[in-house]
Each structure stands twice: as structure tokens, then as C-alpha cells.
Amino acid sequence: MKPRPPTMRGKRRYILARLDPPSVTFSGRDLYYAIAESLTSLYGDSGMACIEPSVVSCTGGYAIIRCTRSTEGRVVAGLAAVHQVQEVSVAVRSIRTSGTMRSLRRHLAGMGPGAPLGEQDAYFQGRSWTGVQYPGGKVDLFEKGFKNQQPLFLTEEDLEE
């Protein structure tokens, strides 16, 4: 089949979003379901059909979401309303909107790494924790011996006190 010429294709917009906390990993499909649920509950089925959202990539704590042109504001609102993916608390923070994926990837390459710097044992509130350090003096604490518990979000200054 002959591909449709570019001038006759629907115009798209691409939204770069950061996924917090970086320690949580999930697939693009899980993220799509969360975004679709959020957009459907906000704008209904007809709105969702107009938006045509799609998760283009979801790696390294960042995601690129595609939508039709002029609906990007709705998608940003829908992303802000996502608070759980697969029953895990997350934040999807939209960073930038663009007409091409290339410019988003260029922007992403210029951003600092969000990967953890390392792990250390920490003692906080009279209990032992595993601390995951991130750039900027951020520390996420996970209590030892418990599975699937909610972490604490602190800074190095909090642990020094």
C-alpha cells in the first residue's frame, strides 16, 4: 500500500514526561493504561478518541507520549492527574511539548542523569533503612525487612540531623 503523503497525514504533538520516583520501573503498556484511564475519566470517550494518545517510548525514567495536535493541553492535564501505575504511586511530570520526537530526544540528551548514585544503610527515626541516593542530595529511604512499603523522601541534611 502506498503511504499517505506527509501533507495529508494528521498532525501530531509529542510530550516528554519524567516519571518519578526513578526507582520504579514499568512498561509503556502499563503507563498507557494509566494515562488512558486518567484521560477517559477527565474527558470521556469522545475526548479520548480526539486525543488519540500513545506511549511512544518509556525508558530511563522518561516517557514520550504522542497525541493529536491541539489536544496537548488536555494530555498535560491528564498526565498531571495520573497518580498510580499498576497500584504503585508515581508522578508523571510533563516537561516539554514538541512537534517532533527528534527535538525531544535532543532535549533529553541535554538533561542531567536521574539514575541513582548508590545505596547506603541509614538510621532514621530509630529504625534501619536502605537509602537510595540521587543527584542533588536527595535520599529515598526504604525500610529494611518490609516488602512493597511506601518509601520516605528525604535529603542528606535530614539524615545528618
Partner 1 sequence: MRCTDACVYPFPLGDSSVRRMAQEAGELGFDSIVAVGARRCIFRGVEVVSGTVIQGTDQGEVQAALRKLGGDPGIVMATAGDYALNRALLHTSRVRILRGIHATPRNSFDHILSRIAAERQVAVDIDLSILVSGRDYARQRALQRYADLTRLQSRVGFPLTLSSGARSILQMKSTRDIFALCSIFGMDEDGVEGAFLGIANALCPEKAVEVVE
Cβ proximity to partner 1: between 57 and 158 the closer is 158
DSSP assignment of 31-47: HHHHHHHHHHHHHHHHH
CB of 4 to partner 1, least distance (A): 31
Helix (H) or strand (E) holding 61: none
CB of 3 to partner 1, least distance (A): 34
**What is the C-alpha to C-alpha distance for residues 47 and 29, in angstroms, rounded to an integer?**
20
Taking CB under 8 A as the binding criterion, the range among 3-11, 44-52, 55-63, 80-88 that sits at the site for partner 1 is: 80-88
Cβ proximity to partner 1: between 65 and 76 the closer is 76
From the list 31, 67, 90, 104, which residue makes contact with partner 1 (rule: CB under 8 A)?
A: 90
**What is the C-alpha to C-alpha distance for residues 100 and 48, in angstroms, rounded to an integer?**
21
